[in-house]
Amino acid sequence: MLLKAKNLKTFAEGKKIVIINEADLHNFGTRIPTRLKISYKDKTITAIPNVTETLVEKGYIGLYEEVSSVLKVKDGEELDVDLAPFPESLTYIKKKLKGKKLEYEEFYKIVKDVIDGNLTEAEIAGFVVGLHVFGLDLNEAASLTIAMVETGEKLELTKKVVLDKHSIGGGIGDKTSMLLVPIIASLGYAIPKTSSRAITSPAGTADKVETIMPVNLSIEEMKRVVEKTNGCLVWGGALHLAPADDIFIKVEYPLEIDPLLFPSIMAKKKAVGATHLVIDIPTGRGAKIKTIGDAQILAKDFITLGSLLNIKVNAAITYGEQPIGYSIGAGLEAKEALEILMRRKVVEDQIDKVTSIAGILLEMVGKKNGKELAMKILESGEAEKKFREIIEAQGGNPSIKPEDIPIGKYTYDFVAEEDGFVIWMDNGGFASLARAAGSPIFKGAGVLLYKKVGDVVKKGEKVFTIYAESESKLEDALKVLKEETIIGIGKKRKMLIERIEDSQIAKKRFILER
């Protein structure tokens, strides 16, 4: 059936939707057309039809932006619209739902159909839940990884040794990537770092870097920056590296399941051509991984999967029981990172973490005493110089100073109620606090710490300050502070953390950052 295009300039979170008039519906000779095949010139797309009495006239088809952006058709031009066949990949999803293993070709068909919009949200959920329930072995993980890589863009650099680092998430206040990239790049190695924005954390690396320089680069721009400076710090979301992941994650997040942890991480690394990779596994009560044993199992699987994908992987199990450094929130963290690079501040745990990871990477490519070498680069100012080169190459102001980064004007100081020590800090609690204050949407929002675990605190002394960009957001944060105990201060051997009086539903934090 021929219908005229009407671009609706409307978005549905990546879902491909079209709207047809109910008068045209009958022509399809079926009650519920689950999906329509829409062709324009040499392009064909599958979309989910909504039906209207008035929004789109008879003879027209309204296109959501997710459809418009693929077809690139002008209003009034004719489209060929037909019933779409049931996608073949549904057969493989059903196979997974029977608990069977899938082959590469089967994963490929599924991932391709996910990207092409041939599968509905419910069908994609069927796949993701199937993976969650029945699991996927490392061969399947490798197949799915490659399928995700092959259905997206790829970065191809001149240098054939490409270093990379990835944190599986859960460590808050972590500025490692912002410091690692200039250290590695200034030693002459390529490190094309892509990062995500926050999902459940107060700020993703992309959110932080964005307060200093543009991060929404295209893959061509990213390539230019890396070829010039050896490094980059860009947002992965606009690059179409393993783009299926962005669709899978929308199913995983509400259901709090994460079956694609391995393929998701490794596909993005494979897509930028990484040859040597350190996986950072923050471990401890407040992190995603709670025990060293669990971290070791995860590390082993990453290493094996890496070898199936031709990526040399080492893992770094890192301390994850409190925030890293003294700041939480996009602007505050960016500021601290810049201060470290400028040697205005010595933030011991953060510096130890980045030089440890840099050291592992350097030793993986044959350098000796990697950690010391990384420290030297940081202390000499070479890392700062490289960082400013990258800022300039990405289109930012290379002379930026820490005080140029805007921080919220509405503040609240949390003071100690008694003398003692900081006995524990709750990552999840600090994350809730920073998010309530407006992070990551309001980049000046967050928390600045003055004390860390083990520090002596006097009654009335400031322990941390909350920053917000509006009165109302500050109030939201204060509500969290009132409801949750996020820090333990007291005598060194004070043992009680919380008294539970009724069998309430426990608040559990799900960390999807990966």
Residue labelled with tokens 């606090």: 433
17 binds a copy of itself (CB under 8 A): yes
Mark residues 182-221: x for contact with a copy of itself by CB under 8 A, - for none: ---------------x------------------------
CA dihedral 242, 244, 248, 249 (to 10 degrees): 50
Instruction: Give the Å distances, CA to CA, from 430 to 169, 349, 467.
Output: 15, 18, 13
How does DSSP assign 38-74, residue by residue? EEETTEEEEEEEEEESSSS-TTEEEE-HHHHHHH---
User: Which residues, other chains included, contact 317 with Cβ-Cβ below 8 Å and sequence gap of 6+?
Assistant: 281, 283, 292, 295, 296, 299
Q: Which of 24, 174, 245, 258 is catalytic?
A: 258
Establish if 8 lies at the interface with a copy of itself (CB under 8 A). Answer: yes
* CA 104 distance to own-chain centroid: 26
What is the footprint of a copy of itself within residues 102-121 (CB under 8 A)? Answer: 120-121
Q: CB under 8 Å to 482, separation ≥6 — which residues?
A: none
* The one among 31, 160, 482, 493 contacting a copy of itself by CB under 8 A: 31
CB of 508 to a copy of itself, least distance (A): 9
The mark string for 69-98 relative to a copy of itself (x by CB under 8 A, - otherwise) is -----------------x---xx-xx--x-
| 346 counts as binding a copy of itself under rule CB under 8 A | no
Query: Applying CB under 8 A, does 12 fall inside the site for a copy of itself?
Result: yes
Tokens of 15: 């879902």
Which of the ranges 13-21, 238-246, 392-400, 484-492 carries the binding residues for a copy of itself, by CB under 8 A? 13-21
* Per-residue binding letters, 450-489, with a copy of itself (x by CB under 8 A): -----------------------x----------------
Residue 173 CB contacts under 8 Å (≥ 6 apart), including other chains: 323, 324, 325, 326, 327, 328, 333, 430, 449
11 Cβ contact list (under 8 Å, min separation 6): 64, 65, 66
Q: Taking the complex as a whole, how short is the minimal distance between the CB of residue 473 and a copy of itself, in angstroms?
A: 7
Instruction: Please say if 207 is a catalytic residue.
Output: no
Give the C-alpha distances (Å, rounded to integers) separating 429 from 434, 436, 459, 474.
9, 10, 22, 16
Instruction: Please check whether residue 84 is in contact with residue 71, taking contact to mean a CB–CB distance below 8 angstroms.
Output: no
Restricted to residues 391-450, the positions that interact with a copy of itself (CB under 8 A) are: 438, 440-442
d(CA 218, CA 480): 38
- Tally Cβ neighbours within 10 Å of residue 297: 12
DSSP code at position 318: E
Q: How many residues bind a copy of itself (CB under 8 A)?
A: 52
Q: How far is the CB of 325 from a copy of itself (least distance, A)?
A: 24
Tell which residue, 47, 50, 18, 44, has the closest CA to residue 32: 50
For residue 47, the minimal CB distance to a copy of itself (Å) is 13
Q: Cβ closer to a copy of itself: 68 or 356?
A: 68
Q: Name the residue nearer to a copy of itself (CB basis): 377 or 445.
A: 445
Among 23, 82, 133, 401, binds a copy of itself (CB under 8 A): 133
Choices 10-18, 307-315, 349-357, 370-378; region in contact with a copy of itself by CB under 8 A: 10-18
Residues that bind a copy of itself (CB under 8 A): 8-13, 17, 19, 22, 29-32, 34, 50-55, 64, 86, 90-91, 93-94, 97, 120-126, 129-130, 132-134, 197, 250-251, 254-257, 438, 440-442, 473, 505
Residues known to be catalytic: 258
